């Protein structure tokens, strides 16, 4: 029987290409997302029995329903890629609207937590026990960009979840790791193509990378036996301003 992978936010961007790449590597992929037409199209393109299931990760009931459907259809889950995420336009910290702050927290932190919680419950009780969870962090989980308080705080929280889940999962053969991306060419990276604000106040167009590079790294992490884990990996544009304080 095929191994079961669930990818959140699978309708476009990094989630879409990772879902297709995992399917090419032999996984049966559950493409989870809010847009039914988009996730069904991804599942069809992925093939190999992959399916689309509607899920809004910021809604705990929707996440419960996703994992209930996975359990009843497949009996288990072997890989969760916590990919769904949102960013808000950069504004000075004091001008961040409460509803924008809340949206980022709901998707980027609570969404990862709800999915991890449900995956833990299933992975602990299934036979054979265990599985792998890969969280999509960001280089903003390491270093902030200017005017990115909500996004940066949320991605630092993802690092906290990765660390605590990798500890709590250890006794149950649940391996937890995180990929921190820098400038993958998706809708989210639009600002890099038009010009992103730098720490010195200037604006620069930044190099981007093919999201396939990210998908390949996730597929590598997922290919390891559960006795082996990649706790953190960074995949970024080589020449983007990050190292060396710029
Ligand atoms: P993207 O193209 O904007 O895609 C974001 C995905 O998340 C979409 O599929 C979106 O679905 C989904 N999503 C948003 N809110 C959701 C919710 N409440 N429930 C379920 N799905 C939801 O961005 P991306 O570049 O692929 O980003 C994917 C992940 O990589 C994010 O966690 C992001 O923070 C991280 N990341 C990306 C970069 C980069 O350079 N691209 C860098 C660092 C980190 P809808 O179509 O329904 O909106």
pLDDT per residue as tens digits for the range 162-176: 999 999 999 999 999
pLDDT for res 175: 99
> Which tens digits make up the pLDDT trace of 12-45?
999 999 999 999 999 999 999 999 999 999 999 9
**Is residue 53 within 6 Å of ligand 1 at its C-beta?**
no
CA of 204 to the centre of ligand 1 (A): 23
Confidence band (pLDDT; 50, 70, 90) for 246?
A: confident
Q: Which domains does the chain show, CATH number per domain?
A: 4-237 (3.40.50.720)
**CB-ligand 1 contact for 58 (6 Å cutoff):** yes
User: With a 6 A CB cut-off, is 208 part of the ligand 1 pocket?
Assistant: no
Tokens describing residue 217: 């790294």
Q: Is 218 helix (H, G, I), strand (E, B) or coil?
A: helix
* Whether pLDDT at 189 is above 90: yes
- Which of 9, 116, 180 most suits a substitution to test ligand 1, by most atoms within 8 Å of the C-beta? 9
Q: Which pLDDT score is estimated for 239? A: 96
- Give the distance from CA 244 to its chain's centroid: 27
| Angle subtended by helix axes 36-46 and 13-24, to nearest 10 | 30
Cα 246 to ligand 1 centroid, rounded to whole Å? 25
Note the helical H segments in 47-148.
60-74, 98-104, 112-125
The answer, yes or no, to whether residue 92 has pLDDT greater than 90, is yes
Q: For residue 203, how far is its CA from the centre of ligand 1 (angstroms)? A: 24
What is the per-residue pLDDT across 111-153, written as a single tens digit (0 to 9) for each? 999 999 999 999 999 999 999 999 999 999 999 999 999 999 9
Query: Does residue 52 line the site of ligand 1, with CB under 6 A?
Result: no
* Cβ of residue 34 lying under 6 Å from some atom of ligand 1: yes
How would residue 245 be classed by pLDDT, with cut points 50, 70 and 90? confident
Q: Which residues are catalytic?
A: 151
Our answer on whether the CB atom of 109 is closer than 6 Å to any ligand 1 atom is no
pLDDT at residue number 100: 98
Which residue's CA is the nearest one to ligand 1's atom 48? 34
CA of 188 to the centre of ligand 1 (A): 7
Check pLDDT > 90 for residue 219. yes
pLDDT at 222: 98
Is the predicted pLDDT of residue 208 greater than 90, yes or no?
yes
pLDDT of amino acid 1: 87
């Amino acid at each position: 029987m095929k191994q079961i992978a669930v990818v959140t936010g699978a309708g476009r961007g990094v989630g879409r290409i990772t879902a297709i790449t995992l399917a090419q590597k032999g996984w049966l992929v559950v493409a989870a997302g809010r847009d039914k037409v988009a996730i069904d199209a991804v599942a069809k393109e992925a093939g190999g029995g992959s399916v689309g299931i509607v899920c809004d990760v910021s809604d705990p009931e929707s996440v419960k329903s996703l994992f209930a459907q996975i359990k009843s259809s497949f009996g288990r889950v072997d890989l969760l890629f916590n990919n769904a995420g949102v960013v808000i336009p950069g504004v000075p910290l004091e001008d961040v609207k409460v509803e924008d702050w809340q949206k980022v927290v709901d998707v980027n932190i609570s969404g990862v937590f709800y999915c991890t919680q449900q995956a833990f419950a299933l992975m602990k009780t299934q036979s054979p026990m265990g599985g792998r969870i890969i969280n999509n962090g960001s280089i903003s989980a390491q270093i902030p960009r200017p005017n990115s308080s909500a996004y940066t705080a949320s991605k630092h929280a993802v690092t906290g979840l990765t660390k605590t889940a990798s500890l709590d999962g250890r006794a149950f053969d649940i391996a937890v790791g995180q990929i921190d991306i820098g400038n993958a060419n998706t809708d989210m990276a639009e600002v890099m193509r038009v010009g992103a604000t730098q720490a010195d106040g200037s604006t620069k167009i930044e190099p981007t990378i093919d999201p396939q590079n990210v998908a390949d790294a996730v597929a590598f992490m997922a290919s390891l036996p559960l006795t082996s884990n990649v706790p953190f990996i960074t995949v970024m544009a080589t020449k983007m301003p990050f190292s060396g304080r710029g």
